[in-house]
Amino acid sequence: MEKYIFFVSLLIVLTGCTKIGTERIDANKDKINESMLLESTTENEEDVTLLSDVVSYLVLVNKEKGLPSTYMPDDLVVPQVLNVDYQVSEAIMMRREAAQMLEKLFQTATNEAGYTLLAVSGFRSYEAQAKLYNEYVQTYGQIEADRFSAQPGHSEHQTGLAMDVTSESVTKQLDQTFGETPEGQWLEKNAHRFGYIIRYPEGREQDTGYMYEPWHVRYVGVEPATEITEKGLILEEYLAN
């Protein structure tokens, strides 16, 4: 785990602030090579299972299950929660129900425990993810990039149901040590009350395909989230039952 924490922290330092988690694109960087972008978004097309029911709150998006490149939720709204700049921003858009429940989650964290949670990154389009992923591949190589970044069409952020969350305890960054903070521990224990799960939990890296991300919460609905949390499942296992 120390290796993972060091790797994530190093990436954050190298790429600036919260880049590995937020996976924002630096507008000042050189444009991504177009041929490389095209290759990454098409080379695995035959292996991708495009989902017919992408609007379901239980939609499964992982390394094997992908979303259509044209998919964008039609009910995106801006949740009335604070981002890392202590503002409400379009960069944290989510689907309406997920946004409403995120507002309740953040407010309860403050009311019950006195914690201030901050939203980092919500909906991200296929095109934005494609450019971002290729940027990471160019910098770190595909093997390393695949450990922490989704290929285009395979990011939960495209569903509008995922949010990256942080706090001042980790200087508003997305770091695995967030899971050790009071805010991170509260989030892990209480997210299910509002329909959210920790999508990439510690110890399940081989099953999810991604490193531990205590900051990445995914909306699935209260009942599924409660069962997933209480039974120690990941979303794939819940849907397989």
Q: Is the CB of residue 208 less than 8 Å from the CB of residue 200? A: yes
pLDDT tens per residue across all 241 residues of the chain: 433 443 444 343 333 333 343 333 333 333 333 333 333 343 455 445 455 678 899 999 999 999 999 999 999 999 999 999 999 988 899 999 999 999 999 999 999 999 999 999 999 999 999 999 999 999 999 999 999 999 999 999 999 999 999 999 999 999 999 999 999 999 999 999 999 999 999 999 999 999 999 999 999 999 999 999 999 999 999 999 8
Whether the Cβ atoms of residue 53 and residue 59 lie closer than 8 Å to each other = yes
Range of the domain at 70: 2-24+32-240
The total number of structural domains in the chain stands at 1
Question: Helices (H), strands (E): how many in the chain?
Answer: 10, 8
Could you give the residue numbers annotated as active site? 213
Six-digit token pair at 67?
Answer: 């979303």
Rounded Cα–Cα distance for residues 223 and 117 (Å)? 23
CATH number at residue 63: 3.30.1380.10
